Structure 1
Amino acid sequence: MNDERVRGFPAFGATGARGKFATSWWGRAWVSAMEDTALDLRQLKAGRRYAAAGLVGPITVSPGRIAAVVDDVDGGPYRTELRLAELSEGDWTRFLDRVASRAGHLAALLDRDMPHDLVEAADDAGVHLLPVIGDLDPECDCPGWELPCKHAAALSFQASWLLDTDPFVLLLMRGLGEREIREELESRTAPREDFAAVAADRTPGELPDLAAFQPSGAPSIPAAPGVPAEAFALLTANASGQARALLAGEPWPGRRHDAVRLAAEFPAAAERLGEGANFRRAVAAWTFGGSAGLDVLEAPWSPPKAALAAARAALADVTEDEPVFNRNHCTAGETQLRLDRQGRWHPYRLEDGEWWPAGPPETDPGLLPG
């Protein structure tokens, strides 16, 4: 087996009051997949205690498998593992194509983040990254019959800590190592030499006057069965706008990005374009901040130190709480601000454990709602 596809992690040891398991949303999805399958809650509680007590030894991750030796206060040690089906070659191709098609997705993944939008895009392509009920298959040589037993539960809880800091652990279990993924993404994003050579020899002509392509009015299109006439007007206006943008050299941002924009610009069509809390949150981000608002929601980035220092000084004047920075996110008390690449702050509010856009961006954080 390729050595790049086997990773070892030292034992966590006793953590005491480390806090709850899984702080990232994808880590929580991992834990939920295990907890929702369990038939005996006592085994889960014992597994939490074993994980916090440091009874799980060094962890080894390889395609389709995560394994460790787990001690037991009543015996052991026991060889324990969790199995997860690997993605097929076709699944990997579709997933990597999706990642490479969006700069925000690519930057986030390489920075060890896994945005909701990336997982949703993969789901749309039929590639399911995160485990759900029944996907995790625990095995242990202990005499217990429960699935999972407390040893497998302990391993799963500690695995969530690994996933929190490095989503490549999940991708390795799905079949590919980090270096392989990076190489595949580089091959998809690198410019093609033959195309660059041809382009260098061409002298582009002038674009026609785009004003000549402006429609004098919306075309009159009758309604179709189940499709109101205004839907055709919306699609026509959108197609016209996209055509002008492409003629002007602006790249098409992608299907979901375009759906979010349309839902924000045409609220009456929002239900036809997408559903779910993540989509509504994306529409709210676009409504308040346009394309930059969506990027600041879904693609965290690391601002220069000088920008963070200036932000800290500015925020000190408008809040009594000590600002806590996590990349371009600043949390102070019940308020979170996110800095976009144009130097504007986007306000967020906490709802049901998720941060939601709360208003338009401002260059001066003091002008934002508290």
Structure 2
Amino acid sequence: MTAARGFPAFGPQRAGARFATSWWGRAWVKAMEDTSLDQVLLRRGRAYAKSGQLGPITVSPGRIAAVAENDYDTVVRVEQLTDAAWERFLDQVAAKARHIAALLDRDMPHDLVEAAQDAAVPLLPAVGDLEPHCSCPDWGHPCEHAAALCYQASWLLDADPFVLLLMRGRGQNELIEALQQRDIPEAQPAGVPVAEAFALGTPPLPGPPPYDVAFTPPALEPGPGGDSGIDVAALSVLAASAASRARELLLSGRLPRHTEYQDRVRLAAEHGLGLGLDAAVQAWRYGGADGLDVLETPWTPPRQDLARARARLEAGWEGGAPPPVESWRNRWTLGRLQLRYGRDGRWYPFTERDGGWWPAGPPERDPSAAVHERWQPDR
């Protein structure tokens, strides 16, 4: 039988601490949040998870458990995989050596989860797959204690995806032992007899390798005639930019179309040129062409996008209701912080500086995440 694993209690966390930085950890949190019908309880659960009041966590096949304040027993049940499902999962893991290496390196490859899904093996929970239970008098589904347990579990999943596999029924040692016992495909004979090799004749040479566009061109110098009227420094920047764009085209097969102004900003951002475009350069470094557009062009987003964003901001705010929001088109102002909604569906943070708004960091899908790192109440 698979042994349970115990984890020490998490201490108090800072208010802006985030849950689930890995993609599989975020999928776990999403399954719990999508099941909940009470955003207030979720907000309280997030605050409780960071308070340090939840006890040590025990993970065992089919469940995670902890003791909350007042000795409330809190459990979240997860459906275990059948033996047949485990066999199909092990087939997918053993099919590629890098899957085993990734798991041992505490990573959960996307293609492994997708291959398991195709084999009818649901590794990640979906809506309704998590069953919370708590001995507290709250009838929430989940209550704040069970929600806090799920949020803290996302930290465990970030650090070790084998925690998820243990919840599904099998621990790390059991899985590795099962993989070692599986049949290994017979190796192909190495090489061919000499006579057969000579009989094949001379094969055609391979084509030339692709030009290494990452190569740094040599430094440009004025010709022997002295000053030729060419700005060598500017020409060097343009040559490096052309090489970078060629590499982008080679790797992706396409190049984004930029206006002349956008290219000026891009060059300044990539090569540290002082062209009097400080705010634009900072916007480009955080979000590329989308970041520049958010800096300079207000627009009116669909109402449903803003309604969803406002609900996420309220649900993700720690310690009570968020401050009043002054909204205008795609711009939300919260005191000395402003969020701008981009056409790419992300929220860009800005802070007040010299009487204007200055790009303050990379964009976030969740507006509450963009706020937490930078929020300072007016004094």
How far 1:151 sits from its partner (Å)? Answer: 0.6
Unmatched runs of 5 consecutive residues or more in structure 1: 213-284, 291-317, 321-332, 336-350, 354-370
**2:23 is the alignment partner of 1:25:** yes
- Map of 2:105 onto structure 1: 111
How far 1:210 sits from its partner (Å)? Answer: 10
Unmatched runs of 5 consecutive residues or more in structure 2: 204-247, 254-269, 273-284, 288-343, 347-379
- Map of 1:148 onto structure 2: 142
**2:121 is the alignment partner of 1:127:** yes
The 8 Å contact of residues 18 and 52 in structure 1, kept in 2 or not, is answered as no
SS at match of 1:169: helix
How far 1:209 sits from its partner (Å)? Answer: 4.7
Aligned residues: CA RMSD: 3.6
**CA distance 1:319–1:101, shift in 2 (3 Å):** farther
The 8 Å contact of residues 63 and 78 in structure 2, kept in 1 or not, is answered as yes
Separation in 2 of the partners of 1:106 and 1:319?
41
Which deviations, in whole Å up to 9, do the C-alpha atoms of 1:68-111 show, x marking residues without a partner? 0011xxxx221001000000111111111111111222211111
SS at match of 2:35: coil
Aligned amino acid, residue 153 of structure 1: A
Which deviations, in whole Å up to 9, do the C-alpha atoms of 1:255-296 show, x marking residues without a partner? xxxxxxxxxxxxxxxxxxxxxxxxxxxxxx9x8389xxxxxx
How far 1:115 sits from its partner (Å)? Answer: 1.5
Among 7, 10, 14, the residue aligned to 1:9 = 7
The 8 Å contact of residues 62 and 169 in structure 2, kept in 1 or not, is answered as yes
The 8 Å contact of residues 54 and 67 in structure 2, kept in 1 or not, is answered as yes
Aligned amino acid, residue 14 of structure 1: P
- Map of 2:49 onto structure 1: 51
Aligned positions of 1:160-199 closer than 5 A: 160-188=154-182, 191=184
Among 102, 120, 131, the residue aligned to 1:137 = 131
- Map of 1:85 onto structure 2: 79
Separation in 2 of the partners of 1:204 and 1:96?
40
Separation in 1 of the partners of 2:194 and 2:131?
58
Structure whose alpha-carbon radius of gyration is higher: 2
Which deviations, in whole Å up to 9, do the C-alpha atoms of 1:119-146 show, x marking residues without a partner? 1111111111000000000010111111
Structure 1 segments of 4 or more deviating over 4 A?
202-205, 207-212
How far 1:199 sits from its partner (Å)? Answer: 6.2
Aligned amino acid, residue 107 of structure 1: A
The 8 Å contact of residues 82 and 139 in structure 1, kept in 2 or not, is answered as yes
The size of the alignment, in residue pairs, is 221
> Normalized per residue, which structure has more helix?
1
Which deviations, in whole Å up to 9, do the C-alpha atoms of 1:320-342 show, x marking residues without a partner? 8xxxxxxxxxxxx659xxxxxxx
SS at match of 1:118: helix
**CA distance 1:133–1:210, shift in 2 (3 Å):** farther
SS at match of 1:146: coil
Separation in 1 of the partners of 2:91 and 2:116?
10
Separation in 2 of the partners of 1:162 and 1:18?
18
**CA distance 1:79–1:205, shift in 2 (3 Å):** farther
Separation in 1 of the partners of 2:54 and 2:166?
20
How far 1:20 sits from its partner (Å)? Answer: 1.3
The 8 Å contact of residues 28 and 160 in structure 1, kept in 2 or not, is answered as yes
How far 1:186 sits from its partner (Å)? Answer: 2.4
How far 1:352 sits from its partner (Å)? Answer: 6.7
